[in-house]
Each structure stands twice: as C-alpha cells, then as structure tokens.
Structure 1
Amino acid sequence: MSEKTDKNVKTDKAVKTDPAGGAEQRRLSVFKTYKLYVGGKFPRSESGRVYEVTTGTSAADAAGRGDWLANAPLSSRKDARDAVVAARKAFGGWAGATAYNRGQVLYRVAEMLEGRREQFVREVADAEGLSKAKAAAQVDAAVDRWVWYAGWTDKIAQVVGGGNPVAGPYFNLSSPEPTGVVTVLAPQESSFLGLVSVLAPVIATGNTAVVIASEKAPLPALSLGEVLATSDVPGGVVNILSGRTAEIAAPLAAHQDVNAIDLAGADEALAKELEIAAADNLKRVLRPQPVDNWTVTPGIDRMTAFLETKTVWHPTGSLGASGSAY
C-alpha cells in the first residue's frame, strides 16, 4: 500500500540522534487523521468514504492540480441527520445559558485558537494557496473575529430589544431569542476566516449549528473542531461536516428539525434549490451575500438574521407585599 493511501497526511520522517553511539535513527512520524466533529466527538463518516484534499490554486501545477494534503471524510446523509440530532439535543442548554456565559465561552475559543496559531497558519496557507504572511493575517483576523462576537453576546439584546409604547396600563417588552438549529454552508473561498465569520454570530446568539465546511478546503474547519472540543463549548453546539456541499446540504435544507439555513457557501443554482427545499417547514433563509473582503468588521446582520422576537405584556400597577405586580 502506498504512503498516500496508507496514511492520511504526508509529513517528513523525523531524524533522531542515538545518545549512546551518535548514529542517526529514523522514527515513524505521527500522521494526522482528520475526522468529523459531531456531538462533541470525532467520528469517521458513517459511509467510510474519504476524498482527497489538495493545496490551493497558487500552489497548483500547470494542469491545475495541487499537491495532496490529506484525505478528508466524505459525509453522508446519515452523518447530516446525526449532526442535527446532536445540535437539537444541545440547543436547550446553550440557549438557556446567560449571554455573559456565552461570551466567556467564545472568548475561550479565541484563546485556544491563539495557542494553535502556527498550525492554522500552515493549514490556511496550504488550503488557499497563500503565502505564510497572508495566511497569518487571515488567522489573526479570525481570532479577532471570535473576540468581537464574544463581546456582543450580552449586548445584542439591548440593540434589538426594548420597551414598546402601547395604549393601556401595560408594560410591553420585546426581547430576542435564538431561532434554533441553524445549518451553515461555510464560504468556499475563505476556508477559515469566512467560516468563523458565519459561524460565530450563529452560536453567539444562542443557536446551535451544523456546519458544512468548504468543499475544496475543509482542513482548517475540521481542525477548528479540535479547538472547540478542548474549549468550553458544550458538545453538539457546533457540528462540523466535510464533503460535497450539495450532497450534504440537500437533506439538511429539507430536514424538519432544522430551523434556519445560511447559504453563504452556495452558488446561485444551489442556493435556489435549497431555498425551495427550506420552504417546506418555513426555515429562515439567509441567501448568499457577495463578500470581497472578509477582514472588514462585520455589522450585526448575521446575528439578527437568526433571532426571533418575543413580546411580553404585563399589567402596570402597584406592588403588593409579595413584590409582584397586580
């Protein structure tokens, strides 16, 4: 069996000096195996399938083929359904957590990313065919993006909620609540910064997510799963699938337990197809929006896209001995 099929990721063999005789010894390298991230665990695809991931375009040869990087899991429809089950199970606890706590958790993710910066710089450079300096800028921007959304978790309610003037002796208060399980099609061209930019606002507002990684560059997304698993994000809040975007997205768009879908990584034809499928259970749909530069500071649109508004009426009046209005 060739090294390429026997091992998942190519690396150079390490050389070690024998302290006794000074002779060089070669040791087997520890190869990295990329897996899905579902329910806080790292399963292989249910189908057992994989597909080859190669370097980005600037590193490709004259025929447009890049160097082989790894075999990524090729997710099946069953993997997609399992991810939805995990996301639904995690939704109650995550949505019920305080906004301040969610902010702390997101900041912890940024801390963990900072500690693994060099790994992500290498993976982004390979995935997108960037120089190390440009890849480093993308990774730094992604870490900053996590921090930015961490700061918004306990502030978005004040921006989109509030008291409403009504005729009558009532308080009328509107407050935002998360939509539920959101399917996120990660951008195809920006494998890491684009992914963070569409994922972070979804979970910052209390939703849980099923993410379909960039089809041609899934490795940074799969490595992000390792960061999430070692941070404070509860299992199931984020679930990451890799494979053929159209194949995985179709069952998720039609899934009755998915409440919303972000089509950032879909082309026009696929977006239209998924939007039709999503109409069956009245999913919220965020259509693809052209983004020339993911490093630009985002607004709050992606946070408000997957929020519902709850309005509460309460009679005004004096407080009784119990302290409640009557």
Structure 2
Amino acid sequence: MSDRLSVFKTYKLYVGGKFPRSESGRVYEVTDSKGTWLANAPLASRKDARDAVVAARKAFGGWSGATAYNRGQILYRIAEMLEGRRDQFIAEVADAEGLSKSKATAQVDAAIDRWVWYAGWSDKVAQIAGGANPVAGPYFNLSSPEPTGVVAVLAPQESSFLGLVSVIAPAIVTGNTVIAVASEDSPLPALSLAEVLATSDLPGGVVNILSGRTAEIAAPLAAHQDVNAIDLAGADAGSAKDLETAAADNLKRVLRPGTTDWTADPGTDRLLAFLETKTVWHPMGV
C-alpha cells in the first residue's frame, strides 16, 4: 500500500492571459453534489473584476481587427484541445453536476460540438447580419456587423460547461472580448477551460474567467463604464433587475436572463446579441 500524499491542484483566476490568485487572497470550498470537498477555488474581488475589464479592453483592438477567418481558425484549435482533454472535463462535469459518466460525457461532447459550430460562423455571420440596402440614388448602401466591445458574461449556474461554452463562444467569435463569471457552485470546468485557452492561440485578454460569488462580482461589472454589454444568463431573478439598473448608467446592451435549455439547438440569437450594425454610403463609380 502506497503512503504517497496526493498533490492537490491549485485553481487560479484567468486574467489577461495569466493566472493570478485573487487580489484579496480569498478562496472558497467547492464540493460535489454530495457535499464532498473537491477543491478550493479563488474568490474574486471587485479589484479582480476591474483588472479583467482592463485586460479585455486592451485585447479588444487586436481581436476585433483580426480577420473572421483567423478568429474561426483559433476557435477550431481550441475545440481540438478540448477534445484532447475530454476525459478531464467529463470527470469535472460529473462531479459538478452530480451526473453519471454517460450523462456527463453527453454534456461535454455537446459542448465541444457547440464550440465547433460557433467557430464555423466566424466568416458567415456577416451574411445574415449585413448586406446591401436598396436606396433611391446613385449610391451603394452597405450594412456590416461589428462587435459591441467588452462583454461581461454571467455563466449559467446549473450548466457548468455546456452552458458556459454556449455564452462565451458566440460572444468572442464575432470579435468581442469577454469577462466570464463562472458558475458559483461549480466553477472547476470553467477554470480548467482557462488552462485550455491559455495554451491555445487565443490572445491573452480575449477571455477572462473569474470565480467566486456571482452577485459580488456582477455588481462592479454591471456598473463599470468600460463594459459595453452584459449577459445575465447566470443571474437570479432577484439581482437581475438591480444589475440592469446599474448597466443603464452607460447604456450597456443587456441580454436578460431566461429559462434556457442549454442542450437545445442554440440558433443564432446569442451570435447576434452583441453585434452593432455599421452602414456605409458610397457613391457609385468612385
């Protein structure tokens, strides 16, 4: 019988392509569905949220300026890496959500497939969100989609990986940068996703992942003047109204929470949620 001591994993935040500990040094216990201790996760503070916004804003110019083809290729590469760590995610989702191995496998496979699906939209979304407009005059009138900017995302609480992918991937494939607040009770799949992103071709700061108390982190993000939009997927009904009120101070775009079946066909709603339309008039023959 071995008397070897286990080496426990230290989970950290993911901000600006790096893995800092929480600024406050706080952690909280993460347990499985039976109450068994799994790990200590970092408890992000308001300062961590502000740092994540700075990182996301810094990364926005380069990411939004990349070609759609390039963004798609980077997302495909992430999907390849997720496939390579499939067993790890299956184990973490099973623990997080109290699922059997077969059900957790279905969730992880669906999440990887969804990441690939959104990657494929990178160079096609302009065809459904833009086009040539008929005008009376000697002009070309063209509309094209552009990213909204820095998007704060409150990940779904009950779907720790499939739901997480379903809110992050559509935001970044269209050129936005993201601060994602992981599921409060089940943050480990999100923190492991950060490790995949860090070793992929995704530039640092495009996705930033925070764990901790959703309400505590969401409040400064909703009120932050340099956050352009917020997805309230993981907000409870009680806090959603307060977050919408805070978001209104700088006219943030708000995607309200609702009852969502994360296993269903996602459609294009979230793909189009954080896009703006730029319209250009151009004289004919010039």
- TM-based fold match above 0.5: yes
Please give the alpha-carbon distance, in whole angstroms, between the structure 2 residues aligned to 1:153 and 1:46. Answer: 35
Q: Are 1:138 and 2:115 counterparts?
A: no
Letter in 1 for 2:270: R
Q: 2:96 maps to which residue?
A: 127
Q: 2:282 maps to which residue?
A: 314
Higher Rg of the two aligned structures: 1
Q: 1:28 maps to which residue?
A: 5
C-alpha displacement of 1:218: 0.4
Q: 1:18 maps to which residue?
A: none
Taking only aligned residues, the RMSD between alpha carbons, in angstroms, comes to 0.9
**Could you say if the C-alpha distance between residues 25 and 122 of structure 1 is closer, same or farther in structure 2, counting changes exceeding 3 Å?**
closer
Q: 2:263 maps to which residue?
A: 295
Deviations 1:125-181 (A, max 9, x none): 000001111001100000001000000010000111000011111000000000000
Please give the alpha-carbon distance, in whole angstroms, between the structure 2 residues aligned to 1:191 and 1:45. Answer: 21
**The one of 14, 17, 20 aligned to 1:43:** 20
C-alpha displacement of 1:25: 5.4
Query: What secondary structure sits across from 2:13 in the alignment?
Result: coil
Query: What secondary structure sits across from 2:119 in the alignment?
Result: helix
C-alpha displacement of 1:47: 0.2
Q: Are 1:261 and 2:230 counterparts?
A: yes
Runs of 4+ aligned residues of structure 1 deviating over 3 Å after TM superposition are: 24-28
C-alpha displacement of 1:289: 2.0
Please give the alpha-carbon distance, in whole angstroms, between the structure 2 residues aligned to 1:237 and 1:81. Answer: 15
Please give the alpha-carbon distance, in whole angstroms, between the structure 1 residues aligned to 2:266 and 2:70. Answer: 22
TM-score, normalization: structure 1? 0.87
Deviations 1:7-61 (A, max 9, x none): xxxxxxxxxxxxxxxxx654333321110000000000000000111102xxx2x
Q: 1:96 maps to which residue?
A: 65
Q: 1:284 maps to which residue?
A: 253
Q: 1:196 maps to which residue?
A: 165
C-alpha displacement of 1:267: 1.1
Please give the alpha-carbon distance, in whole angstroms, between the structure 2 residues aligned to 1:38 and 1:81. Answer: 10
Please give the alpha-carbon distance, in whole angstroms, between the structure 2 residues aligned to 1:268 and 1:35. Answer: 29
**The one of 100, 105, 108 aligned to 2:77:** 108
Query: What secondary structure sits across from 1:309 in the alignment?
Result: strand
Please give the alpha-carbon distance, in whole angstroms, between the structure 2 residues aligned to 1:304 and 1:244. Answer: 28
Deviations 1:73-99 (A, max 9, x none): 000000000000000000000000000
Tell which has more relative contact order, 1 or 2 (C-alpha 8 A, sep 6+): 2
**The one of 10, 29, 38 aligned to 1:52:** 29
Query: What secondary structure sits across from 1:27 in the alignment?
Result: coil
Query: What secondary structure sits across from 2:134 in the alignment?
Result: coil
C-alpha displacement of 1:183: 0.2
C-alpha displacement of 1:272: 0.4
Letter in 2 for 1:272: K
Please give the alpha-carbon distance, in whole angstroms, between the structure 2 residues aligned to 1:232 and 1:27. Answer: 37
Query: What secondary structure sits across from 1:295 in the alignment?
Result: coil
C-alpha displacement of 1:297: 1.7
**Could you say if the C-alpha distance between residues 131 and 25 of structure 1 is closer, same or farther in structure 2, counting changes exceeding 3 Å?**
closer
Q: 1:183 maps to which residue?
A: 152
Q: Extract unaligned runs of 5+ from structure 2.
A: none
Q: Where does 1:44-83 land on structure 2 (aligned, <5 Å)?
A: 44-56=21-33, 60=34, 66-83=35-52
Q: Extract unaligned runs of 5+ from structure 1.
A: 1-23, 61-65, 318-324
Letter in 2 for 1:98: T
Letter in 2 for 1:243: G
Letter in 1 for 2:59: A
Please give the alpha-carbon distance, in whole angstroms, between the structure 1 residues aligned to 2:173 and 2:195. Answer: 19
Query: What secondary structure sits across from 1:174 in the alignment?
Result: strand
Please give the alpha-carbon distance, in whole angstroms, between the structure 2 residues aligned to 1:50 and 1:29. Answer: 20
Deviations 1:209-250 (A, max 9, x none): 000000000000000000000111100000000000000000
Letter in 2 for 1:40: G
% identical equivalent positions: 83
